[in-house]
Structure 1
Amino acid sequence: MTRPSCPSCNRVMKRNGTTSAGTTRWRCPSPECGVSRTVKHQRDGSSLIMFLDWLFSKHTQAETGADPRTFRRHTRWCWELWPPVPLVDEIHHVVHVDGIHLHRQAVVLIAIADAHVIGWYVARRETSAGWMNLMARIAPPDVVVCDGGGGLLKALKTVWPDTRVQRCLFHVCMKISELTGTRPRLDAGKQLRKLAIGLSRVTTRDDAAAWLVAYNQWEQDFHEFLDEHSQYADGSIEDTHQRLVKARRMIRKRIKENHLFTFLDHELTRDTPIPATNNLIESWNARLRDMMRHHRGLRLIRRIKAICWWCHQHSERPQPAAWLAVNSITDQHIEDLYRKAWQSSPQGAYENYGIPNRYGTGINWNEFHTTTRYPNQTN
């Protein structure tokens, strides 16, 4: 490291310990001067490029060509950055949406169109509010391909009401097979299993009509069988064949929604075909899981940031590394925004009494300033 020069006498300065934040302190060796200062190094894009190259590769830190400690020291600040999410005002014909879960602790909702990531959003769960936040930054497309879970349909009706929906036929087939089993023993289960396999082979409008006729015939043939009930020892009455009844209810709902065969609509497929499955985004999610596996051991916040960086670098127009190093949102920026929002909220008024803001309204400060003794033994 090049030692800085004294701003007063221009002599080479010497190390003089560190500050409370851990930054190296420099002091002028001249007895007449004795100026002390710290040096703030300008962050450039070279370290960020090195960091992203390692993150998207299979290599360990020792295989990057630099000493692992040196690599971590040069790229530590990169973990503080959050890549910017694009604002998409272009209307795409087909958008694929799905979420990648991180051990039930968080989920990153991702939208893909034309082989590019067009948006992502970090949430605790796949709720309608999370999907709405993702869709709010994207112009409503003509068709959205999805698996339809976790509040997605509710968000579509609210944010993209005119967008047609294509349910992933692979997910529907797998759901039916999950309820029937891969080797069903009952005749009704065997026939429904065949219908599930036939659904994945529908490619024309005639195939779709034939499949609907076959399904209606299945319901007629096993109507009495599926309506059988059993009474248990506690007096409750339940469906005898609960899994098959659940499969019937699910298929009826899919047909009523009219989301199974949107990819066969001639008006929508006149210029560009519509996929019947969500395989595109599922393959991208597999690449993200590979990245997590190659760098296993990262804590949750770093896994979330790794996925966000991957999404940004696979967007249509990612920002250059030099721009990102200067203009990206940092953890400190987000913390400052949350603090300002908290202080302007009614709950933030408790700070005036000296209560740390992390407690929120879980403690009522007035209850701790009374002269009477409460039943809960609080003074």
Structure 2
Amino acid sequence: MERQTYETLSRDSKLSISTIQRTFGHFLAQAPKVKIIKRSAVNLRLDATYFNRFCVVVYQDDFDGHTQLLRFSDKEDYLEIREDLENLIHLGVQLESITTDGHKSILKAMKLGVPNVTTQRCLVHIQRMCLIWLTRRPKHPAAIELRKMVLDLLRINTHNDRIYWTDSFRKWYEHYQEYINEKVFQEETGRYWYKHRLLRRSYYLINKALPNMFHYLNNPNIPKTTNGIEGYFSHLKNHLDLHRGLTIKNRINFIKWYVHFSNEKR
């Protein structure tokens, strides 16, 4: 922790800096386990965030933000995530849906580990990636029109909205199919490459996710985004930034304490 932070805590708590340091050291030497609560019809938000030298996969109930499980790893691993999901069910967490950003390891773990649980793709993630690839000011009509449709994603609140949007999306592809699939020959590699790769990538991201984009319309308890857990990550990292210089073990224990106190407040 930075010296200035210790001084602020010392002033507010009337404790000496050395006492505060010993107290933090005592807490960071150990950490509580995450409490799993048996619940039915759980709509989970599943996401991961990366720190220096490790990542944390978080399984969070959208109902009240209770974190049911944490996984510390070096990446989003299929076998680990599948094991976590199966363990949650074994421990009494009856999953109804999981909202995810669509990482391939998560999707595979869900498909093979919990095939009866509804997969909801995060609309904000789809929108964010497409807007990056399409850029803020695309020039070709195909990209301009797709960008407009992407911006409308979060405004889909009824089945009529969904039907209109998906119909427009399919008509857009039919109209621009030849342009999207246009290839050019590169003499350097001796191969043909798609000329409009980012536009094509945007289309295929949406098209592949489409079957799992609108389950929230059938069940209002299903979150259509992982925004809640992303905000949680942001808040966590802001607090952890105040404690620069911690060892990896202490950083992990800090996160466990953060999750513990966050759960206790709910």
* TM-score bracket for the superposition, by shorter chain length: 0.7 to 0.9
Of 148, 167, 171, which residue of structure 2 is paired with 1:217? 171
SS at match of 1:216: helix
SS at match of 1:142: strand
Q: 1:253 to 1:239 in 2, by over 3 A?
A: same
Q: 1:237 to 1:68 in 2, by over 3 A?
A: same
Of 229, 236, 256, which residue of structure 2 is paired with 1:288? 236
Counterpart for residue 57 of structure 2: 109
Instruction: Kindly indicate whether the alpha-carbon contact (under 8 Å) linking 1:118 and 1:315 is maintained by their aligned counterparts in 2.
Output: no
RMSD: 2.2
Task: Write the distance in 1 (CA, Å) between the matches of 2:240 and 2:69.
Answer: 20
2:227 is equivalent to residue 253 of structure 1: no
Task: Write the distance in 1 (CA, Å) between the matches of 2:23 and 2:9.
Answer: 12
Deviation at 1:189, TM superposition (A): 0.9
Instruction: Kindly indicate whether the alpha-carbon contact (under 8 Å) linking 2:120 and 2:215 is maintained by their aligned counterparts in 1.
Output: yes
2:99 is equivalent to residue 99 of structure 1: no
Of 180, 188, 198, which residue of structure 1 is paired with 2:134? 180
Deviation at 1:59, TM superposition (A): 7.7
Deviation at 1:60, TM superposition (A): 4.8
- Greater relative contact order structure (CA < 8 Å, 6+ sep): 2
The share of aligned pairs that are identical, in percent, is 23
Task: Write the distance in 2 (CA, Å) between the matches of 1:303 and 1:158.
Answer: 32
Deviation at 1:159, TM superposition (A): 2.8
Instruction: Kindly indicate whether the alpha-carbon contact (under 8 Å) linking 2:183 and 2:195 is maintained by their aligned counterparts in 1.
Output: yes
Counterpart for residue 196 of structure 2: 241
Task: Write the distance in 2 (CA, Å) between the matches of 1:59 and 1:260.
Answer: 49
2:73 is equivalent to residue 123 of structure 1: yes
2:260 is equivalent to residue 306 of structure 1: no
Deviation at 1:222, TM superposition (A): 0.8
TM-score by length of 2: 0.87
SS at match of 1:162: coil
Instruction: Kindly indicate whether the alpha-carbon contact (under 8 Å) linking 2:34 and 2:67 is maintained by their aligned counterparts in 1.
Output: no
Q: 1:79 to 1:175 in 2, by over 3 A?
A: same
Deviation at 1:58, TM superposition (A): 9.6
Deviation at 1:90, TM superposition (A): 2.1
Instruction: Kindly indicate whether the alpha-carbon contact (under 8 Å) linking 2:86 and 2:113 is maintained by their aligned counterparts in 1.
Output: yes
Q: Which runs of 5+ in 1 are unaligned?
A: 1-56, 319-379
Task: Write the distance in 1 (CA, Å) between the matches of 2:81 and 2:179.
Answer: 40
Task: Write the distance in 2 (CA, Å) between the matches of 1:248 and 1:167.
Answer: 15
Deviation at 1:121, TM superposition (A): 1.4
Q: Which runs of 5+ in 2 are unaligned?
A: none
Query: Which one has the largest radius of gyration?
Result: 1
Deviating above 3 A after TM superposition, structure 1's stretches of 4 or more consecutive aligned residues are 57-64
Task: Write the distance in 1 (CA, Å) between the matches of 2:68 and 2:128.
Answer: 28
Counterpart for residue 203 of structure 1: 157
SS at match of 2:246: coil
Deviation at 1:283, TM superposition (A): 1.7
2:217 is equivalent to residue 264 of structure 1: yes
Deviation at 1:264, TM superposition (A): 0.9
Of 60, 65, 85, which residue of structure 2 is paired with 1:135? 85
SS at match of 1:82: coil
Task: Write the letter of the residue equivalent to 2:51.
Answer: L
Count of residue pairs brought into register by the alignment:
254
State the Cα deviation string for residues 32-71 of structure 1 (Å, max 9, x = none).
xxxxxxxxxxxxxxxxxxxxxxxxx998553442222232
Instruction: Kindly indicate whether the alpha-carbon contact (under 8 Å) linking 2:120 and 2:224 is maintained by their aligned counterparts in 1.
Output: yes
SS at match of 2:193: strand
Deviation at 1:274, TM superposition (A): 2.5
State the Cα deviation string for residues 172-224 of structure 1 (Å, max 9, x = none).
11111111111111111111101101112111100011011111111111111
Task: Write the distance in 1 (CA, Å) between the matches of 2:87 and 2:9.
Answer: 36
TM-score by length of 1: 0.62
Counterpart for residue 351 of structure 1: none
